[in-house]
A and B are shown apart, each in its own frame.
Chain A
Amino acid sequence: MKMRSILIVDDDENDLFICTYTIQRFDPDIRILKALNGLEALALLKQETPDAIILDINMPVMNGFEFLEHYTREFETHAPVVAMLTSSHHAADRERAMRYDFVRNYFEKPLTPENLQAMARLLGDEPERRASQAAP
């Protein structure tokens, strides 16, 4: 399966920019959806289910963990990859996030092409094209 759409949930304008730029450089075909907090993300997820979600933990209104709680309870189908993005590494936070079975990855900011590759690998999408690009 190929990653076609990614939802980015982050309140910080700069982080949204970084994610968007990095994803577009990774694969310009991926459609990017944006939400500024958990509440907006839930509203958006009611419309469609993206292939992956990149979720910030610290957000006003509804933070990453509150979002996960609602997402588990209120939705039948979950996006196959939810990657948590955090600006600082706390073992307790990681443990808490990884308890949800649809949370597959836990990255530290800023988002890098390597992070995206790991997400793609998880989805079974390892195109030779990208591998050959990375080789030289």
Chain B
Amino acid sequence: MIIGAAVMLAWIARPVDLAEAAPLLFAMQFNAALCFVLAGGAVCLLLAGMPRLSAGLSALAGLLAAATLAEHILRVDLGVDQMFITPFVTTGPGPAGRMAPNTALCFLLLSSSVALSALVGRGSPFRVLLAALVFMISTTALIAYLLSVSTAQEWLPLARMSPQSALCFATLSTGLIFGGVIRLGYDLSTVAATLGAATYLLLVLMTYVELMQPADAGALPANGADGHTTLLAVLLLSGIVYAGLIVYAFRNSERSRRMARQLAESQKRLEAIIETAVDGFVTIDERGTILSANPACERIFGYRAEEIIGRNVKLLMPAPYRDEHDQYLANYRTTGVARIIGSGREAEGQRKDGSTFPVELSVSRIDLGHQVLYGGILRDISERKRHERDILDANAELEEFSYRTSHDLRSPIASSLGLVAIAGDMVRRGVPAAELEGVLTRIETSFHKLDHLIQNIIYLTRTKMMDEPESTIPVAVAVRETVERLRHLEGGIAATVHIDIAETMTVRKKASRFQIILDNLLSNAFKYRDPVEVAPEISIRAALVRGRFVLTVADNGLGIAAADEPKLFQMFKRFHPQHAEGSGLGLYILRKSVEQLGGVAAYRRLDKGSLFTVTLPLEDRP
């Protein structure tokens, strides 16, 4: 455009002397210069995003060019040539002030290209094609000038264009081509190479035509030497271009080989990670069809990869999710609002056998350009959930324990405080000593109660904390000793105790825990005997049944009401508070001790009395 404006100014200024000194400056006609200003403005406007104005400018330029072309073809004078200005110098053949036919053609092509992209839309391939033609023609002309400046004007019909024009055309068309190409998404270097090759082919073709018809065109200075020079120059140029191409191709192939190798390596690395990952990895397409699944997925869901690839991912979900998943995908497609994409969450999975399990799921969107995939990473968190529940249960139990202990520890102390206050009051009132002694006895029982509770708590913590080695326990001896000790403690109860245990039987257990179990079972049997029963009886048996040690203690005592049975082994439960003092912890301690040894404690109601069974494995669980 700038060149166009400069030439236009030059024509208007009419510097005759300058024209004589350098006729080449005026090789571009005024009309051509005007057209360049118009076309340049059009291209600039187009690139700046004003298609309407740009189309108008290019239409003007196109009209001017079409008129000139018509003059050339029809050999008439429409008066276009000297419409604006009368030429004072002429260069080259043809009527004065008329632009060369190929210049006009180029303008026509260029302006159609601009108009096309302005009206049809920005990324039209035609625009690129037309601009490419212009580029080829102008470049050919430029090369022709470079090869033999003196003859260029007449060398070829197509080269009949001033060098300024050629340069301008090359610049404008390059802008048009690359502006369009970027929007169409082609590789820039490919387009450049194609343009170069096409221009080169055109050049060679024209040289060939020239050599075939050396004597034809009258205006051509067709002597042999000149033809040979041109031929040599073209050959030399071809050689240089060819060598350049070979080097380029070599480097290019080298680079693409390296890239392919790197790509293969990174793919292998990625595959290895996915194949050996502990987490399941699934990819699905936009409709939910499974495209891939790794071995961890097979392990988690119980399907082989072939069984699920190609099927809908719903297959891996249980009922509520299964029916909603299609909707999720559809919603995401239409609204773009993601529910889980990008943020991990917990969901449920369904195995091949129909069982469900909790999974932790994170989904990512994989945009491949031509297709959108979703990648899901999932982890079976059943175990974690189970641990969570266990911890919560243990915590609840601990809370209950601390609540109850705080209460039960304070209870006898509160009683003692009240009783001491009463004793003081009695002393002040001077009541008889016998009455005072009754209060002191009450204080004593309160402290015994406290002591008993603390003992039990110590038992309980011992079952939890103590790490003692196993020892061989002679069962019959241990039971006999316990019975005698408890009978003495309870004030020599006249209960009949049957012990049915082989003298030779031994178990290898942690002795103190085993003793806690015996103590609790037997003291309950003594304490909760039926006071109206004429012949209280306790039967203790031990046997090895299918590799397990089974200890049973049966009595004909008070028993447990059916409604209370579920609470039997819980902490701080008392069922016969009137019959004996107790902390409500005995059977809880029993259960905990048995569980510590890997066994189970059970209760069965008898017609009269209770039957407790403790089953222990012969080998301690590791």
Contacts and interface: CB of A to CB of B under 8 A. Distances in A.
B239 to A, nearest CB: 98
Interface stretch (B260-268, B412-420, B532-540): B412-420
A108 B403 CA distance: 15
B415 A88 contact: no
A110 B167 CA distance: 111
A110 B421 contact: yes
Given A14-B445, A87-B414, A110-B414, A61 B577 contact: yes
Contacts of A13: 442, 445
Nearest to A108: B414
A25 B424 CA distance: 13
Interface residues of A, number: 26
Contacts of A17: 419, 442
Contact of B418 (A86, A88, A109): A109
A116 interface: no
B415 A18 contact: yes
B403 A90 contact: yes
Given A25-B425, A109-B415, A110-B417, A88 B407 contact: yes
A88 B406 contact: yes
A36 B578 contact: yes
B407 A58 contact: yes
A11 B415 contact: no
Contacts of B408: 58, 87
Interface residue range, chain B: 20 to 34
Nearest to B564: A61
A108 B410 CA distance: 10
B578 A18 contact: no
A11 B410 CA distance: 15
B411 interface: yes
A15 B407 contact: no
Which of A11, A17, A90, A111 has the most CB atoms of chain B within a 10 A radius of its CB?
A17
B574 A60 contact: yes
Given A11-B577, A14-B445, A110 B418 contact: yes
A110 B413 CA distance: 9
A56 to B, nearest CB: 9
Contact of B407 (A37, A87, A112): A87
13 contacts: A12-B415, A14-B446, A15-B414, A18-B415, A18-B418, A60-B577, A87-B410, A87-B414, A88-B410, A90-B403, A90-B406, A109-B414, A110-B419
Given A21-B422, A110-B415, 17 more contacts: A12-B411, A14-B442, A14-B445, A14-B446, A15-B418, A17-B442, A37-B577, A57-B407, A58-B408, A59-B577, A60-B577, A86-B407, A87-B413, A90-B403, A108-B414, A110-B421, A111-B418
